Protein backbone atom coordinates (compact mmCIF):
# COMPACT_ATOMS: atom_id res chain seq x y z
CA UNK A 1 0.00 0.00 0.00
CA UNK A 2 2.76 2.44 0.94
CA UNK A 3 4.62 1.72 -2.30
CA UNK A 4 1.48 2.45 -4.32
CA UNK A 5 0.86 5.64 -2.32
CA UNK A 6 4.45 6.74 -2.91
CA UNK A 7 4.20 6.05 -6.65
CA UNK A 8 0.95 8.03 -6.88
CA UNK A 9 2.46 10.95 -4.94
CA UNK A 10 5.51 11.08 -7.23
CA UNK A 11 3.38 10.71 -10.36
CA UNK A 12 0.99 13.51 -9.37
CA UNK A 13 3.81 15.95 -8.52
CA UNK A 14 5.74 15.05 -11.70
CA UNK A 15 2.67 15.55 -13.90
CA UNK A 16 1.63 18.85 -12.31
CA UNK A 17 5.07 20.49 -12.10
CA UNK A 18 6.20 18.94 -15.40
CA UNK A 19 3.13 20.33 -17.15
CA UNK A 20 3.82 23.82 -15.78
CA UNK A 21 7.48 23.61 -16.85
CA UNK A 22 6.61 22.46 -20.37
CA UNK A 23 3.88 25.12 -20.65
CA UNK A 24 6.25 27.93 -19.60
CA UNK A 25 8.94 26.84 -22.05
CA UNK A 26 6.35 26.37 -24.80
CA UNK A 27 5.04 29.92 -24.27
CA UNK A 28 8.59 31.27 -24.34
CA UNK A 29 9.36 29.33 -27.51
CA UNK A 30 6.16 30.50 -29.17
CA UNK A 31 6.88 34.10 -28.18
CA UNK A 32 10.29 33.90 -29.83
CA UNK A 33 8.76 32.28 -32.91
CA UNK A 34 6.08 34.95 -33.13
CA UNK A 35 8.73 37.66 -32.83
CA UNK A 36 10.77 36.09 -35.63
CA UNK A 37 7.71 35.85 -37.86
CA UNK A 38 6.88 39.48 -37.18
CA UNK A 39 10.39 40.51 -38.28
CA UNK A 40 10.12 38.39 -41.42
CA UNK A 41 6.70 39.75 -42.38
CA UNK A 42 7.87 43.31 -41.63
CA UNK A 43 10.91 42.87 -43.88
CA UNK A 44 8.73 41.46 -46.67
CA UNK A 45 6.21 44.29 -46.43
CA UNK A 46 8.92 46.96 -46.59
CA UNK A 47 10.44 45.36 -49.68
CA UNK A 48 7.09 45.39 -51.46
CA UNK A 49 6.63 49.16 -51.06
CA UNK A 50 8.11 52.00 -53.08
CA UNK A 51 10.10 51.76 -56.27
CA UNK A 52 12.17 48.71 -56.98
CA UNK A 53 15.41 50.74 -57.07
CA UNK A 54 14.74 52.36 -53.67
CA UNK A 55 13.60 49.33 -51.70
CA UNK A 56 14.98 49.37 -48.13
CA UNK A 57 17.31 46.47 -47.53
CA UNK A 58 17.39 44.53 -44.29
CA UNK A 59 20.92 43.37 -43.66
CA UNK A 60 22.81 46.28 -45.18
CA UNK A 61 23.89 49.40 -43.28
CA UNK A 62 22.28 50.88 -40.19
CA UNK A 63 18.57 50.47 -39.39
CA UNK A 64 16.18 53.22 -40.28
CA UNK A 65 15.18 55.61 -37.47
CA UNK A 66 11.59 54.37 -37.58
CA UNK A 67 12.63 50.70 -37.66
CA UNK A 68 11.84 49.14 -34.27
CA UNK A 69 13.45 45.83 -35.15
CA UNK A 70 16.85 47.12 -34.18
CA UNK A 71 19.82 44.86 -34.45
CA UNK A 72 17.66 41.77 -34.78
CA UNK A 73 16.31 42.93 -38.15
CA UNK A 74 19.81 43.43 -39.55
CA UNK A 75 20.31 39.64 -39.48
CA UNK A 76 17.78 39.17 -42.30
CA UNK A 77 18.85 39.50 -45.93
CA UNK A 78 16.03 40.70 -48.19
CA UNK A 79 15.58 41.05 -51.92
CA UNK A 80 12.77 42.31 -54.17
CA UNK A 81 12.19 41.36 -57.79
CA UNK A 82 9.66 42.40 -60.43
CA UNK A 83 8.47 39.75 -62.85
CA UNK A 84 6.20 39.83 -65.85
CA UNK A 85 2.99 37.86 -66.06
CA UNK A 86 4.79 35.08 -67.94
CA UNK A 87 7.47 34.73 -65.26
CA UNK A 88 10.31 36.73 -66.78
CA UNK A 89 12.37 38.61 -64.19
CA UNK A 90 12.37 42.25 -65.22
CA UNK A 91 14.23 43.97 -62.40
CA UNK A 92 15.77 43.29 -58.98
CA UNK A 93 16.39 45.64 -56.09
CA UNK A 94 19.89 47.07 -55.74
CA UNK A 95 20.62 45.34 -52.42
CA UNK A 96 24.12 44.06 -53.12
CA UNK A 97 22.75 40.63 -52.26
CA UNK A 98 23.69 37.64 -54.34
CA UNK A 99 21.08 34.92 -54.82
CA UNK A 100 21.47 31.78 -56.87
CA UNK A 101 19.52 32.08 -60.12
CA UNK A 102 17.95 28.60 -59.85
CA UNK A 103 16.81 29.35 -56.28
CA UNK A 104 15.43 32.73 -57.39
CA UNK A 105 13.52 31.15 -60.29
CA UNK A 106 12.14 28.51 -57.93
CA UNK A 107 10.77 31.12 -55.54
CA UNK A 108 9.36 33.24 -58.37
CA UNK A 109 7.58 30.26 -59.95
CA UNK A 110 6.17 29.29 -56.56
CA UNK A 111 4.84 32.82 -56.08
CA UNK A 112 3.29 32.88 -59.57
CA UNK A 113 1.52 29.54 -59.15
CA UNK A 114 0.46 30.01 -55.56
CA UNK A 115 -3.13 30.89 -54.67
CA UNK A 116 -1.96 33.10 -51.82
CA UNK A 117 0.43 36.00 -51.54
CA UNK A 118 2.70 34.51 -48.85
CA UNK A 119 4.82 31.41 -48.60
CA UNK A 120 7.58 29.61 -46.70
CA UNK A 121 10.08 27.16 -48.09
CA UNK A 122 11.89 25.69 -45.10
CA UNK A 123 14.05 23.42 -47.26
CA UNK A 124 15.92 26.47 -48.63
CA UNK A 125 15.22 28.79 -45.65
CA UNK A 126 13.30 31.38 -47.63
CA UNK A 127 10.06 33.29 -47.03
CA UNK A 128 8.38 35.29 -49.75
CA UNK A 129 5.48 37.63 -50.29
CA UNK A 130 4.00 38.82 -53.57
CA UNK A 131 2.07 41.87 -54.77
CA UNK A 132 0.28 42.36 -58.05
CA UNK A 133 1.30 45.47 -60.03
CA UNK A 134 -0.95 47.73 -62.02
CA UNK A 135 1.03 46.96 -65.16
CA UNK A 136 0.00 43.31 -64.88
CA UNK A 137 3.24 41.97 -63.46
CA UNK A 138 4.16 41.05 -59.93
CA UNK A 139 6.64 42.16 -57.33
CA UNK A 140 8.04 39.42 -55.10
CA UNK A 141 9.89 40.15 -51.85
CA UNK A 142 12.22 37.43 -50.61
CA UNK A 143 13.79 37.10 -47.15
CA UNK A 144 16.51 34.70 -46.15
CA UNK A 145 15.31 32.98 -42.92
CA UNK A 146 18.43 30.91 -42.29
CA UNK A 147 19.32 32.77 -39.09
CA UNK A 148 15.73 32.66 -37.81
CA UNK A 149 15.35 28.94 -38.55
CA UNK A 150 18.72 28.14 -36.97
CA UNK A 151 17.81 30.18 -33.89
CA UNK A 152 14.45 28.40 -33.49
CA UNK A 153 16.07 25.00 -33.89
CA UNK A 154 18.69 25.84 -31.27
CA UNK A 155 16.01 27.14 -28.90
CA UNK A 156 13.93 23.98 -29.36
CA UNK A 157 16.92 21.74 -28.57
CA UNK A 158 17.81 23.88 -25.57
CA UNK A 159 14.23 23.75 -24.26
CA UNK A 160 14.13 19.97 -24.66
CA UNK A 161 17.37 19.69 -22.71
CA UNK A 162 15.92 21.94 -20.00
CA UNK A 163 12.76 19.81 -19.81
CA UNK A 164 14.71 16.55 -19.53
CA UNK A 165 17.14 17.94 -16.97
CA UNK A 166 14.32 19.63 -15.05
CA UNK A 167 12.25 16.45 -14.90
CA UNK A 168 15.26 14.47 -13.71
CA UNK A 169 15.96 16.97 -10.92
CA UNK A 170 12.25 17.14 -10.11
CA UNK A 171 12.05 13.36 -9.82
CA UNK A 172 14.99 13.27 -7.42
CA UNK A 173 13.48 16.04 -5.27
CA UNK A 174 10.00 14.49 -5.36
CA UNK A 175 11.36 11.06 -4.46
CA UNK A 176 13.13 12.49 -1.41
CA UNK A 177 10.07 14.57 -0.52
CA UNK A 178 7.83 11.51 -0.79
CA UNK A 179 10.06 9.58 1.62
CA UNK A 180 9.96 12.48 4.07
CA UNK A 181 6.20 13.10 3.76
CA UNK A 182 5.25 9.42 4.04
CA UNK A 183 7.62 8.61 6.90
CA UNK A 184 4.94 9.20 9.60
CA UNK A 185 2.43 7.16 7.57
CA UNK A 186 4.94 4.34 7.19
CA UNK A 187 5.67 4.39 10.92
CA UNK A 188 1.96 4.29 11.78
CA UNK A 189 1.37 1.50 9.27
CA UNK A 190 4.25 -0.51 10.66
CA UNK A 191 2.98 -0.06 14.22
CA UNK A 192 -0.49 -1.17 13.19
CA UNK A 193 0.84 -4.17 11.27
CA UNK A 194 3.08 -5.19 14.18
CA UNK A 195 0.22 -4.81 16.66
CA UNK A 196 -2.08 -7.00 14.58
CA UNK A 197 0.62 -9.64 14.14
CA UNK A 198 1.66 -9.64 17.80
CA UNK A 199 -1.89 -9.56 19.14
CA UNK A 200 -2.98 -12.36 16.84
CA UNK A 201 0.01 -14.45 17.81
CA UNK A 202 -0.57 -13.89 21.52
CA UNK A 203 -4.25 -14.85 21.19
CA UNK A 204 -3.47 -18.25 19.74
CA UNK A 205 -2.32 -19.75 23.07
CA UNK A 206 -5.36 -18.79 25.22
CA UNK A 207 -7.68 -19.85 22.39
CA UNK A 208 -5.99 -23.21 22.22
CA UNK A 209 -6.46 -23.61 25.99
CA UNK A 210 -10.15 -22.63 25.76
CA UNK A 211 -10.78 -25.12 22.97
CA UNK A 212 -8.93 -27.88 24.82
CA UNK A 213 -10.86 -27.23 28.05
CA UNK A 214 -14.15 -27.25 26.15
CA UNK A 215 -13.31 -30.59 24.60
CA UNK A 216 -12.69 -32.00 28.09
CA UNK A 217 -15.98 -30.60 29.33
CA UNK A 218 -17.84 -31.99 26.32
CA UNK A 219 -16.59 -35.48 27.21
CA UNK A 220 -17.63 -35.17 30.85
CA UNK A 221 -20.82 -37.20 31.16
CA UNK A 222 -21.56 -35.69 34.57
CA UNK A 223 -22.51 -32.32 33.12
CA UNK A 224 -26.28 -31.87 32.81
CA UNK A 225 -27.66 -31.76 29.27
CA UNK A 226 -29.12 -28.31 29.93
CA UNK A 227 -25.69 -26.88 30.65
CA UNK A 228 -24.00 -28.69 27.77
CA UNK A 229 -25.38 -26.24 25.21
CA UNK A 230 -23.39 -23.41 26.87
CA UNK A 231 -20.23 -25.44 26.48
CA UNK A 232 -21.04 -26.03 22.82
CA UNK A 233 -21.75 -22.32 22.30
CA UNK A 234 -18.41 -21.40 23.88
CA UNK A 235 -16.61 -23.91 21.64
CA UNK A 236 -18.30 -22.52 18.51
CA UNK A 237 -17.33 -18.94 19.32
CA UNK A 238 -13.77 -20.00 20.19
CA UNK A 239 -13.46 -21.68 16.81
CA UNK A 240 -14.76 -18.51 15.14
CA UNK A 241 -12.18 -16.52 17.09
CA UNK A 242 -9.43 -18.93 16.06
CA UNK A 243 -10.44 -18.49 12.43
CA UNK A 244 -10.32 -14.72 12.83
CA UNK A 245 -6.88 -14.87 14.45
CA UNK A 246 -5.58 -17.04 11.59
CA UNK A 247 -6.97 -14.57 9.06
CA UNK A 248 -5.29 -11.64 10.81
CA UNK A 249 -1.99 -13.51 10.92
CA UNK A 250 -2.27 -14.23 7.21
CA UNK A 251 -2.92 -10.56 6.47
CA UNK A 252 0.06 -9.57 8.62
CA UNK A 253 2.27 -11.96 6.63
CA UNK A 254 1.09 -10.61 3.27
CA UNK A 255 1.60 -7.05 4.52
CA UNK A 256 5.19 -7.90 5.42
CA UNK A 257 5.70 -9.44 1.99
CA UNK A 258 4.20 -6.44 0.19
CA UNK A 259 6.22 -3.95 2.24
CA UNK A 260 9.43 -5.93 1.76
CA UNK A 261 9.98 -6.01 5.52
CA UNK A 262 10.22 -9.78 5.72
CA UNK A 263 9.45 -12.78 3.58
CA UNK A 264 7.06 -15.26 5.10
CA UNK A 265 6.17 -16.58 1.65
CA UNK A 266 7.87 -19.67 0.31
CA UNK A 267 8.67 -19.50 -3.39
CA UNK A 268 8.55 -22.76 -5.29
CA UNK A 269 7.41 -24.06 -8.65
CA UNK A 270 3.63 -24.54 -8.53
CA UNK A 271 1.25 -26.31 -10.88
CA UNK A 272 -1.58 -23.80 -10.75
CA UNK A 273 -3.76 -25.93 -13.02
CA UNK A 274 -3.56 -28.81 -10.55
CA UNK A 275 -4.33 -26.54 -7.56
CA UNK A 276 -7.45 -25.09 -9.20
CA UNK A 277 -8.63 -28.50 -10.41
CA UNK A 278 -8.34 -30.11 -6.95
CA UNK A 279 -10.04 -27.15 -5.26
CA UNK A 280 -12.96 -27.34 -7.72
CA UNK A 281 -13.41 -31.05 -6.96
CA UNK A 282 -13.37 -30.36 -3.21
CA UNK A 283 -16.20 -27.85 -3.54
CA UNK A 284 -18.44 -30.00 -5.74
CA UNK A 285 -20.27 -31.31 -2.68
CA UNK A 286 -20.56 -27.83 -1.14
CA UNK A 287 -22.05 -26.45 -4.36
CA UNK A 288 -24.47 -29.39 -4.60
CA UNK A 289 -25.72 -28.71 -1.06
CA UNK A 290 -26.50 -25.15 -2.07
CA UNK A 291 -28.40 -26.26 -5.15
CA UNK A 292 -25.84 -25.29 -7.79
CA UNK A 293 -23.03 -26.94 -9.75
CA UNK A 294 -19.42 -26.13 -10.64
CA UNK A 295 -18.23 -26.02 -14.25
CA UNK A 296 -14.46 -25.71 -14.64
CA UNK A 297 -12.46 -24.80 -17.74
CA UNK A 298 -8.84 -25.27 -16.72
CA UNK A 299 -6.00 -25.00 -19.20
CA UNK A 300 -3.47 -27.70 -18.29
CA UNK A 301 0.20 -27.17 -17.53
CA UNK A 302 0.01 -23.61 -16.20
CA UNK A 303 2.86 -23.13 -13.74
CA UNK A 304 4.11 -20.24 -11.62
CA UNK A 305 6.35 -19.56 -8.66
CA UNK A 306 4.79 -18.90 -5.28
CA UNK A 307 3.71 -20.25 -1.92
CA UNK A 308 1.54 -23.38 -2.31
CA UNK A 309 -0.37 -22.87 0.94
CA UNK A 310 -1.12 -19.24 0.12
CA UNK A 311 -2.18 -20.02 -3.46
CA UNK A 312 -4.43 -22.89 -2.36
CA UNK A 313 -6.17 -20.58 0.07
CA UNK A 314 -6.50 -17.85 -2.56
CA UNK A 315 -8.16 -20.26 -5.01
CA UNK A 316 -10.45 -21.63 -2.30
CA UNK A 317 -11.55 -18.19 -1.05
CA UNK A 318 -12.99 -17.24 -4.44
CA UNK A 319 -14.72 -20.62 -4.95
CA UNK A 320 -16.13 -20.55 -1.43
CA UNK A 321 -17.36 -16.98 -1.92
CA UNK A 322 -19.11 -18.01 -5.17
CA UNK A 323 -20.77 -20.99 -3.46
CA UNK A 324 -22.06 -18.83 -0.59
CA UNK A 325 -23.84 -16.34 -2.82
CA UNK A 326 -24.84 -18.42 -5.86
CA UNK A 327 -28.48 -18.49 -6.94
CA UNK A 328 -30.28 -21.86 -6.64
CA UNK A 329 -30.01 -24.12 -9.70
CA UNK A 330 -27.26 -21.94 -11.19
CA UNK A 331 -23.76 -22.76 -12.42
CA UNK A 332 -20.49 -21.54 -10.91
CA UNK A 333 -17.93 -21.17 -13.69
CA UNK A 334 -14.22 -21.49 -12.96
CA UNK A 335 -11.65 -20.54 -15.56
CA UNK A 336 -7.85 -20.73 -15.67
CA UNK A 337 -6.28 -19.68 -18.93
CA UNK A 338 -3.30 -18.00 -20.54
CA UNK A 339 -3.73 -14.57 -22.10
CA UNK A 340 -0.51 -13.64 -23.84
CA UNK A 341 2.19 -13.26 -21.20
CA UNK A 342 -0.38 -13.37 -18.38
CA UNK A 343 -2.37 -16.04 -16.54
CA UNK A 344 -5.99 -15.30 -15.59
CA UNK A 345 -7.96 -17.16 -12.90
CA UNK A 346 -11.63 -16.19 -12.70
CA UNK A 347 -14.72 -17.38 -10.81
CA UNK A 348 -18.23 -16.42 -11.93
CA UNK A 349 -21.57 -17.03 -10.21
CA UNK A 350 -25.16 -15.93 -10.67
CA UNK A 351 -26.59 -14.28 -7.57
CA UNK A 352 -27.42 -10.92 -6.02
CA UNK A 353 -25.92 -8.08 -8.04
CA UNK A 354 -23.25 -6.10 -6.20
CA UNK A 355 -23.71 -2.36 -6.72
CA UNK A 356 -20.88 -0.08 -7.93
CA UNK A 357 -20.58 1.59 -4.52
CA UNK A 358 -20.07 -1.84 -2.92
CA UNK A 359 -17.62 -3.05 -5.56
CA UNK A 360 -15.26 -0.24 -4.57
CA UNK A 361 -15.06 -1.64 -1.02
CA UNK A 362 -15.27 -5.40 -1.57
CA UNK A 363 -11.58 -5.91 -0.84
CA UNK A 364 -11.51 -3.64 2.22
CA UNK A 365 -10.78 -5.39 5.51
CA UNK A 366 -13.82 -6.12 7.70
CA UNK A 367 -16.13 -4.74 5.03
CA UNK A 368 -19.47 -6.55 4.68
CA UNK A 369 -22.48 -5.45 2.66
CA UNK A 370 -26.03 -6.65 3.19
CA UNK A 371 -26.16 -8.17 -0.27
CA UNK A 372 -22.70 -9.61 -0.71
CA UNK A 373 -20.82 -10.22 2.51
CA UNK A 374 -23.12 -10.22 5.51
CA UNK A 375 -22.32 -12.68 8.23
CA UNK A 376 -25.07 -15.06 9.22
CA UNK A 377 -25.53 -18.38 10.91
CA UNK A 378 -25.26 -20.24 7.64
CA UNK A 379 -22.51 -18.27 5.95
CA UNK A 380 -20.25 -16.95 8.71
CA UNK A 381 -17.29 -14.74 7.83
CA UNK A 382 -15.57 -11.68 9.20
CA UNK A 383 -15.19 -9.65 6.01
CA UNK A 384 -11.54 -10.71 5.64
CA UNK A 385 -11.68 -13.39 2.94
CA UNK A 386 -11.53 -11.10 -0.08
CA UNK A 387 -9.02 -8.84 1.68
CA UNK A 388 -6.77 -11.88 2.13
CA UNK A 389 -7.32 -12.83 -1.53
CA UNK A 390 -6.27 -9.34 -2.65
CA UNK A 391 -3.17 -9.27 -0.43
CA UNK A 392 -2.16 -12.79 -1.48
CA UNK A 393 -2.61 -12.00 -5.19
CA UNK A 394 -0.51 -8.82 -4.90
CA UNK A 395 2.19 -10.69 -2.93
CA UNK A 396 2.47 -12.99 -5.98
CA UNK A 397 2.66 -10.05 -8.41
CA UNK A 398 -0.99 -10.28 -9.47
CA UNK A 399 -3.97 -7.97 -9.41
CA UNK A 400 -7.56 -8.83 -8.56
CA UNK A 401 -10.79 -7.18 -9.69
CA UNK A 402 -14.54 -7.79 -9.44
CA UNK A 403 -17.44 -7.06 -11.78
CA UNK A 404 -21.14 -7.61 -11.21
CA UNK A 405 -24.07 -7.22 -13.61
CA UNK A 406 -27.59 -8.62 -13.87
CA UNK A 407 -26.85 -10.40 -17.15
CA UNK A 408 -23.32 -11.72 -16.53
CA UNK A 409 -23.46 -12.26 -12.77
CA UNK A 410 -20.56 -11.60 -10.42
CA UNK A 411 -17.02 -12.35 -11.56
CA UNK A 412 -13.80 -12.24 -9.56
CA UNK A 413 -10.66 -12.45 -11.69
CA UNK A 414 -6.96 -12.46 -10.85
CA UNK A 415 -4.31 -11.70 -13.43
CA UNK A 416 -0.74 -12.91 -12.81
Nearest to 57 by CA among 89, 90, 98: 98
- pLDDT by residue (tens digit) across 113-153? 888 889 888 888 888 898 888 777 888 888 888 888 888 99
Residue 283 falls inside a structural domain:
yes
* For residues 158-174, average pLDDT: 92
**Count of Cβ atoms closer than 10 Å to residue 300 Cβ:** 9
Residue 61 falls inside a structural domain:
yes
Which of 152, 171, 201 is the last residue before a domain boundary? 152
Q: Distance between CA atoms of 253 and 392, rounded to whole angstroms?
A: 9
Residue 108 falls inside a structural domain:
yes
Give me the CATH number covering residue 320.
3.30.565.10
93 or 388, which is more confident: 388
145 in the same domain as 10: yes
Pairing of strands 293-298, 331-339: parallel
- The answer, as to whether pTM is greater than 0.75, is no
Residue 239 falls inside a structural domain:
no
Q: Distance between CA atoms of 31 and 49, rounded to whole angstroms?
A: 27
145 in the same domain as 15: yes
10 in the same domain as 147: yes
Q: Distance between CA atoms of 256 and 260, rounded to whole angstroms?
A: 6
pLDDT band, very low/low/confident/very high, at 374 (cuts 50, 70, 90): very low
* For residues 176-199, average pLDDT: 75
- pLDDT by residue (tens digit) across 222-238? 788 777 778 888 888 88
* pLDDT exceeds 80 at position 216: yes
Residue 147 falls inside a structural domain:
yes
The boundaries of the domain holding residue 332 are: 268-415
Residue 229 falls inside a structural domain:
no
Residue 185 falls inside a structural domain:
no
pLDDT band, very low/low/confident/very high, at 24 (cuts 50, 70, 90): very high
Residue 168 falls inside a structural domain:
no
pLDDT band, very low/low/confident/very high, at 337 (cuts 50, 70, 90): very high
3-state SS of 345-389 is: EEEEECCCCCCHHHHCCCCCCCCCCCCCCCCCCCCCCCCCHHHHH
277 in the same domain as 141: no
Number of domains in the chain: 2
3-class DSSP state of 137: coil
Q: Cα-flanking dihedrals φ and ψ of residue 348, to 5°?
A: -120, 140
Share of the chain above pLDDT 70, in %: 83
Pairing of strands 77-83, 138-144: antiparallel
Which of 152, 170, 187 is the last residue before a domain boundary? 152
Which of 103, 129, 152 is the last residue before a domain boundary? 152
Amino acid sequence: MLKQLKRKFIAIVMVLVGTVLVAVLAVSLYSTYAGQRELIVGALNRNLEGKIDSVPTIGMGAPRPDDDTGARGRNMIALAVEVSSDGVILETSDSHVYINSSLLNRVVQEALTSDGDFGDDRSIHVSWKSKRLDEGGMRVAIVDTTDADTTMQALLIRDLEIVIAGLAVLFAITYALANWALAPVAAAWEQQRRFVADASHELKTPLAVILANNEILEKDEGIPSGSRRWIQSTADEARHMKSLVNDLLQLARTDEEAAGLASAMRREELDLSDIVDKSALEFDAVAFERGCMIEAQIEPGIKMRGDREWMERLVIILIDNACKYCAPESTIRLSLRREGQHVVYSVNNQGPVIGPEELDHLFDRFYRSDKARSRSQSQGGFGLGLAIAKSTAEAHGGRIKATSTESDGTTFSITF
